[in-house]
Every structure is written in structure tokens, then in C-alpha cells.
Amino acid sequence: MKKPIHIIISTHTTRHLETVLASVANQTVFPASVSVSCDVDNPEIKAIVQKIADKYQKEFFYTARESHGVMRLSQVRNNAVRTLEKFGINDGLLLFFDGDIFLLPNVIELYETLSDKPNLFHGNRIPLTEDETAYLKRMKEATRYFPISQNDKRFEKLTQVEKKLKKHNLLRKFGLIKSGKPTILGAHFGFSYDLYKSINGSDEEYEGYGCEDDDLARRALKKSAISCIISSDILVYHLYHESKATAQWKDNPGVKRFLNEKWQPYCKHGLDNPLPQHELKQLKIKPNSAGEASR
């Protein structure tokens, strides 16, 4: 894959952000850009981005606005793309990660080896325990391969998921499976910029927890997206924290809308027609030696 790769990290908290950004800064191949997009306006988050920029002498994009009192993950992702466009970036591969995803050092290097034919990438992650997460965060440099044995059942589970997604992808070619399969996992997935733009990005009417990613995959596949299943080939880790999902999947706020609302590939409220929101801060964070952050 020779397209420029742009990492987008969505967050609302400082919890794991420094560790996550260090894992990005330590990639064997640094991406064309790295964006941190926030569902809050928290100066502590910006300070962490500046700290990593200074330490590793890397530039980052930073997008933030005040919270609307409900999680707006779809809008946060779209806001990152809006910031890229503001700074003249409108092509390449968009890799989306949650703010608790630790990248192993060769993630971007591996993405660069893929064919440029696919435009939808189905990634996954290995969940770490609380103790494993604490150990990883104590490391001074986030460059080592975390010692999880290849015989660990978590690797076996990834392989099983990958087989299922590849089966769904095959069935889709023959029209033998319902729309939206194979699904994507919001913690780690990728879109070509052109595909993301063609469906108006993420649907901002999804608020709270649940199904914004299912909707995104469904609309992309309706647009005849070409899938690449890399669930067990490109590894990232999910750093431990307590889940905010409700006990029953069906009780999460996005589920009813996903199952019952009429939909089209091009969503009504997306990149080109955002839901009303507070004023955006869209910055390029530079290392202090290169000057202060500028609009």
C-alpha cells in the first residue's frame, strides 16, 4: 500500500492516552499524520499531546470541543477528518483507533505492505488484563513486543473471528448474507479517504453507546466496499478499563435505531452536514523546539 496513512485516535479521557501516543510515536514507519480528536475540551489532553510531540519530535493534529453531555463518537471521528481537510489532507488511508488501543511497533509498516485495492480494513485487538496493562504502562519506552505467548487463547480467538469474517466476505459476494456483514470493530478499522467521503463519513445521529460501527460498515458495503480482513495479522492491544456498555446489547441506545431506522449509504448528518456542535479547536501541535501550537 503506497497511499499515505493517517491515524485517527478518538478519546474523551487522559486515562491511557500517553501510552497510546507513545506506541504511535515508536512505529518503525511513522504515518503521514496522527490526529487526536476529543469528545471534550480538556487542556490535560492537549498537554499530553504536546508532551509526546516534544519527547519524540513529532507533529500531531488536535481537535476538541466542549462535551454535549452525551457520547458523540461518530462526530468525533468526523471532526478529525474535518481537521485533516483544514490542513490540506484529503487522500490516503484513514486508520481509526480508540484512545485505549496500544499499537505494536510494526502496525504502520504492515499496513504499507497491503495491496491498495481494498478500501475497507477489518482490524481487531487483543484485550489485556488489568495487571498486563499496568505493566505495559510502567515501561519507559513503548517499543517492546508485549510478551503474550502465541499459544495464548486470545490469539486463538482472533483466528476464529478472522475465519468468520472471511466467510461472511465470501458469502457477501454471492448475496448470501444480510447487509452489514462482515462487520468492523470500532477499536481498530480502516477506510480509504475516498470511501469514507463517499458515504458522508460516520452517521452523527448515533449518540451514546452502540451500533455506530455496524452502521458504518453496512453503508460502506452498500457502496460496494472491497474488504480486507486483517484481524489476526496486524496486532494491537486494548488497554484495560471497566466497560460502559449496558448489560444487554439490545438496551444500548444505538441498537434500536440501527435495527429499525431507514438508511442509505450516504447518511444525512455526517462530514458534509454535521449535527450542531460547540466551536471546534483544530490545531497542529508541534514540538516546542519548532514553535508553539498554531491554528
Query: Residue 111 has what pLDDT?
Result: 97
The pLDDT of residue 292: 47
Q: Which residues of the chain have pLDDT under 50?
A: 142-143, 291-295
> For residue 112, is it within any domain?
yes
104-141 burial by CB neighbour count: b if 16+ within 10 A, else e?
Answer: bbbbbebbbebeeebbbbbbbbbebeeebbeebeeeee
Note whether residue 248 is domain-resident: yes
Half-sphere exposure (CA, 13 Å, Cβ side) for 274? 17
CA–CA gap between residue 125 and residue 127 (Å, rounded): 6
Domains identified in the chain, total number: 1
What pLDDT, on the 0 to 100 scale, is given for residue 215? 96
Q: What is the pTM of this model?
A: 0.94
Q: Each residue of 113-135: pLDDT tens digit?
A: 999 999 999 999 999 999 889 88
pLDDT at 136: 84
Report the distance separating Cα 283 and Cα 87, nearest Å: 9
Averaged pLDDT of the chain: 91
Cα angle: 94, vertex 97, 101; to 5 degrees: 150
Kind plus residue range of the DSSP H or E element containing 192: strand 188-192
pLDDT at 223: 94
pLDDT for residue 103: 94
Q: Is the dihedral of CA 280, 11, 293, 94 positive or negative?
A: negative
CA-nearest of 252, 218, 279 to 71 is: 252
pLDDT of residue 151: 77
CATH of the domain at 161: 3.90.550.10
* Residue 94 counted as domain residue: yes
- Residue 30: domain span: 5-290
Residue 31 falls inside a structural domain: yes
Does residue 64 lie in a domain region? yes
pLDDT for res 141: 54
In a domain, 295, yes or no: no
Query: Residue 113 domain-assigned?
Result: yes
